[in-house]
Structure 1
Amino acid sequence: MKFWTARRRDHLAGYLFIAPQLVGTVVFVLVPLALVAWYSLHEWNVLADEFTFVGGDNYRQLADDPNLPKVLAATGLFSAGLLVLNLTLALLLAVLLNQKLRGTVVFRTLFFSPVVVSMIAWTIVWGFLLQDNGGVNGLLNSVGVHGPNWLRGEGTAMVSVIVVQVVKNVGLNMVLFLAALQGVPAGLYEAAKLDGASAWRSFRSITLPMISPTILLTSIITVVGSLQVFAQIAVLTQGGPGTSTTVLVYYLYQQAFQFHHFGYGATLSLVLFVIVLILTTVQWQMRKRWVFHES
């Protein structure tokens, strides 16, 4: 019997096509994840070149860490604020720029341009603008308003970081929403208009259901990205004032690279992985309830 049948050749071709992705997943995802799990069972003193097995000590430290609830609360606040503001503003801009008006191409470029700017450069500039004597307070003083020290106030530091991140990345979601809006059949709006539907009813009953797959995509991207925020915190607030802006990734960095608790840092990395996995899974499962064509 001939070994290389057409079926086997097709299977081999399929495996060869997915081999680069499969190898990349194993080398850059599964192997590092296994190493992080292994490191979490050890304490690694780099200066003394000691790698000691400690079993579940790092996990017991995790359960007893008094700062962890504050860190998780700050992480949740940042993620929720970023998700709501980013998606709302991106959808609003996409709807406005989807109109057939003069100058929309210029505004699309203007709103998208921050996406391609270096994150560090963007954050440094905003750090100067948000200082007590920075450009934002200078603008407020010109109209008779005395602004706070945005990055040093308990109530304004987190809001400032969220706004900086929203302005930086809102253009990406805007472009995704704009592409989705342009894919909605115009005949649906014409039929709704003939039936006497208002603009808001058309938006709620036609636009939102039709672009719901894109809303799902952007929400997953935004949530996962918000849980990995680091540069903005490191440059703008260094986790302060106090621990009000110390999100999980920055706390992980502090434990591993500032305090040299690499084993505990690896444990926090696993916590971050589990949180991302749970949130992504929940969002994906909820798609059947509100994403068009998924019910």
Structure 2
Amino acid sequence: MTDRTQSPVGASASTGTAPRYWTTRRRDQLAAYLFITPQLIGTIVFVLIPLGLVGWYSLHEWNVLADTFDFVGGENYQALLDDPKLPGVLAATGIFSVGLVILNLGLALLLAVLLNQKLRGTIVFRTIFFSPVVVSLVAWTIVWNFLLQDNGGINGLLDAIGIAGPNWLRGEGTAMAAVVVVQVIKNVGLNMVLFLAALQGVPADLYEAAKMDGASRWRQFRAITVPMISPTILLTSIITVVGALQVFAQIAVLTQGGPGTSTTVLVYYLYQQAFQFHHFGYGATLSVLLFGIVLLLTVVQWQMRRKWVFHES
């Protein structure tokens, strides 16, 4: 007489039947792979393969007009080291990036703190400051190009109060500042929203305890607000730095790299070499340089999180 209390596993073993292949665990694993497959394919096709091709092109001299593609080894990298314009281009890139990051993060945090107050009209002002983010970048830049002309709207307003405004986009001392300000106004709303979300996640009990201890508002900001939102500060810093190093449309529309080369940043210089002068191999080499700079700065910021991000200490 068979034992009716025997387990199903034991029954399968005694009868010699194989266990089911599609177990619950394997079905879950298959579902997970199916979900990540589109993203994985997109990363391979649109990120990894182009990166590999850029590295390959940087070792060649590719003349599209003459239909030649010659292997030159490290000649493009030697030309990079010998390029007399590159130091000025890197300096302009650094000035633009530093100015943009400082102004963008500082203004975004200030607006977030002000708009986090429980006052009338804050929702309206949040919408106003965020609205430039959703405006087309080219349309935004074209409008500002008209406003910043010598006889444009900005100088018209200054002339109304008796101030003679400069030619903002043609002066070496004002062109870079104008481009930075236009870009800050365009994207400050995005970081503001991120900071607002972080501020609303700070426990109110911490502020109440600080008030009972007699801490001033500035002391509360330094000791509570900044440490608690430091992960968001790290995120916005990385995003803003990467975006600053990739700026192109603003330079192309507003200044075309001028006056002289004062606003010729690395991406615009890359565009000139590859698509205006048809030095595609050297343009690819500049792309490798840009990738290295972005990667280096991102890694440095990520490693520094242990020192100034509250939750990583």
TM-score normalised by the chain length of structure 1: 0.97
Q: Report the counterpart of residue 234 of structure 1 in structure 2.
A: 252
Q: Report the counterpart of residue 67 of structure 2 in structure 1.
A: 49
1:169 counterpart (187, 190, 200): 187
Q: Report the counterpart of residue 28 of structure 1 in structure 2.
A: 46
- How far apart are residue 14 of structure 1 and its match? 2.9
- How far apart are residue 160 of structure 1 and its match? 0.4
CA distance in 2, matches of 1:6, 1:127: 60
Structure 1 residue matching 2:34: 3-state secondary structure = helix
Q: Report the counterpart of residue 191 of structure 1 in structure 2.
A: 209
1:101 counterpart (80, 101, 119): 119
- How far apart are residue 15 of structure 1 and its match? 2.5
CA distance in 2, matches of 1:120, 1:33: 26
- How far apart are residue 7 of structure 1 and its match? 4.6
- How far apart are residue 139 of structure 1 and its match? 1.1
Q: Equivalences for 1:1-295 in 2 at 5 Å?
A: 2=19, 3-295=21-313
Identity %: 82
CA distance in 1, matches of 2:137, 2:59: 34
Aligned letter for 1:188? L
Structure 1 residue matching 2:62: 3-state secondary structure = strand
Structure 2 residue matching 1:33: 3-state secondary structure = helix
Deviation string for 1:169-225 (max 9, x for gaps)?
Answer: 001111111111111111111111111111110111000011111101111110000
CA distance in 1, matches of 2:204, 2:296: 38
Structure 1: any 5+ residue segments left out of the alignment? none
- How far apart are residue 70 of structure 1 and its match? 0.5
CA distance in 2, matches of 1:153, 1:137: 14
Structure 2: any 5+ residue segments left out of the alignment? 1-17
Query: Bigger shift: 3-12 or 82-91?
Result: 3-12
CA distance in 1, matches of 2:280, 2:142: 28
Structure 2 residue matching 1:165: 3-state secondary structure = helix
Aligned letter for 1:147? G
CA distance in 2, matches of 1:120, 1:146: 28
Query: Bigger shift: 11-20 or 81-90?
Result: 11-20
Aligned letter for 2:274? A
CA distance in 2, matches of 1:52, 1:280: 34
- How far apart are residue 31 of structure 1 and its match? 0.2
Structure 2 residue matching 1:58: 3-state secondary structure = helix
CA distance in 1, matches of 2:68, 2:222: 61
**Highest CA radius of gyration, 1 or 2?**
2
- How far apart are residue 133 of structure 1 and its match? 1.0
Structure 2 residue matching 1:66: 3-state secondary structure = coil
- How far apart are residue 11 of structure 1 and its match? 3.5
- How far apart are residue 10 of structure 1 and its match? 4.0
CA distance in 1, matches of 2:187, 2:84: 33
CA distance in 1, matches of 2:26, 2:310: 38
- How far apart are residue 43 of structure 1 and its match? 1.0
Deviation string for 1:27-66 (max 9, x for gaps)?
Answer: 1110000000111111111112111111111111101000
Deviation string for 1:80-108 (max 9, x for gaps)?
Answer: 00000000000000111111111111111
Aligned letter for 1:16? L
CA distance in 2, matches of 1:76, 1:168: 20
RMSD: 1.2
Structure 1 residue matching 2:268: 3-state secondary structure = helix
CA distance in 2, matches of 1:80, 1:64: 26
Q: Report the counterpart of residue 3 of structure 2 in structure 1.
A: none
CA distance in 1, matches of 2:126, 2:311: 29
Q: How many aligned residue pairs are there?
A: 295
Structure 2 residue matching 1:52: 3-state secondary structure = strand
Q: Report the counterpart of residue 7 of structure 2 in structure 1.
A: none
